[in-house]
């Protein structure tokens, strides 16, 4: 039930972290992957790795904030592999980390544009293409921040990630009749280049916030994304799935 044979999947933010781990896992499970990010060299390395392992992938570098790029990714999936079945809208940034009253207007817009508006633009073009194939799945990367926890200094990030949950719910309601399932994954602390901790001491503090007393490997989050994208989640839509190591329920 966790196989993706014959499926085509777009993965944004695929050059590192959760996106890269998910692209590799999707390919290992049989999906043909359209990998997207800003850095062409990293994308080329990912495609080479997937190809060498016997998988199939193409890549396109661009800015997810641009609607033309969202459209181009869907066209690439159709032209390269005949259609689109799965989309993982994962690209994002932490943005300005300051008290809310000190966040600049430009910083606010950059975070919302990258994390929320870009996901909307992606899904806007992905959902009709997936529906045309008879159904499939869209997954957004949200966060426990802004959903179950309000971390000081992360107002723009929290707002963008909370907004993704609302966006996901509407897409799920609108496209459910066409067989398109839309869900969000809400990771906890994860060992990626975007992680906010800079020292071993900061990492230890973040680890202790989680019930499991550690942070996730990107591959662990990718496994949860695979579940939402696969037929194992055939009756799951409109869900905000916490894969957060218990950070949302821990007070010790």
DSSP 27-95: HHTT-EEEEEES-HHHHHHHHHHHHHTT-EEEEEE--TTSHHHHHHHHHHHHHHHSS--EEEE------
Residue 162 lies in a domain: yes
Instruction: Please give the Cα distance from 46 to 58 (Å, whole number).
Output: 9
Containing structural domain, residue 202: 8-243
Instruction: Say what the pLDDT of residue 141 is.
Output: 98
CA 105 to chain centre: 25
Average pLDDT, the chain: 96
Instruction: Say what the pLDDT of residue 233 is.
Output: 98
Residue 71 lies in a domain: yes
Residue 2 lies in a domain: no
Instruction: Say what the pLDDT of residue 196 is.
Output: 64
Instruction: Say what the pLDDT of residue 251 is.
Output: 86
CATH code assigned at 232:
3.40.50.720
Instruction: Please give the Cα distance from 64 to 87 (Å, whole number).
Output: 13
Q: Which residues form the catalytic set? A: 157
pLDDT over threshold 90, residue 125: yes
pLDDT, one tens digit per residue, over 157-176 is 999 999 999 999 999 999 99
pLDDT over threshold 70, residue 191: yes
pLDDT over threshold 80, residue 1: no
Work out the angle at residue 41's Cα, subtended by the Cα atoms of residues 36 and 44, and round it to the nearest 5 degrees: 65
Predicted TM-score of the model (pTM): 0.96
Is residue 252 very low, low, confident or very high in pLDDT (cuts 50, 70, 90)? confident
Strands, DSSP E only, in the chain?
A: 8-12, 32-37, 56-61, 86-89, 136-141, 180-187, 240-243
Backbone angles phi, psi at 98, to 5 degrees: -145, 165
Is residue 193 very low, low, confident or very high in pLDDT (cuts 50, 70, 90)? confident
Residue 250 lies in a domain: no
Instruction: Please give the Cα distance from 231 to 6 (Å, whole number).
Output: 13
Give the percent of the chain with pLDDT over 90.
92
Tokens of 252: 């010790």
For the chain, the domain total comes to 1
pLDDT over threshold 90, residue 210: yes
Residue 238 lies in a domain: yes
Residue 249 lies in a domain: no
Is residue 179 very low, low, confident or very high in pLDDT (cuts 50, 70, 90)? very high
Residue 190 lies in a domain: yes
């Amino acid at each position: 039930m966790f196989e993706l044979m014959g499926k085509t999947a777009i993965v944004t933010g695929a050059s590192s972290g959760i996106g890269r781990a998910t692209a590799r896992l999707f390919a290992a499970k049989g999906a043909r992957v359209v990998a997207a990010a800003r850095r062409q060299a990293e994308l080329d390395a990912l495609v080479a790795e997937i190809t060498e392992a016997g998988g199939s992938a193409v890549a396109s570098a661009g800015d997810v904030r641009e609607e033309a790029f969202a459209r181009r990714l869907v066209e690439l999936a159709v032209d390269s592999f005949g259609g689109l079945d799965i989309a993982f809208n994962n690209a994002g940034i932490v943005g300005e980390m300051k008290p809310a009253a000190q966040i600049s207007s430009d910083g606010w817009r950059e975070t919302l544009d990258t994390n929320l508006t870009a996901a909307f633009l992606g899904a806007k073009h992905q959902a009709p293409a997936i529906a045309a194939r008879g159904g499939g799945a869209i997954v957004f990367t949200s966060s426990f921040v802004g959903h179950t926890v309000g971390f000081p200094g992360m107002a723009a990030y929290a707002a963008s990630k909370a907004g993704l949950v609302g966006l996901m719910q509407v897409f799920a309601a609108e496209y459910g009749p066409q067989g398109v399932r839309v869900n969000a994954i809400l990771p906890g602390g994860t060992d990626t280049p975007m992680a906010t901790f800079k020292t071993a001491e900061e990492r230890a503090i973040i680890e202790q916030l989680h019930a499991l007393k550690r942070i996730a490997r990107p591959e662990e989050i990718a496994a949860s994304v695979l579940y939402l994208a696969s037929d194992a989640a055939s009756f799951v839509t409109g869900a905000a799935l916490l894969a957060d190591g218990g950070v949302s329920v821990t007070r010790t």
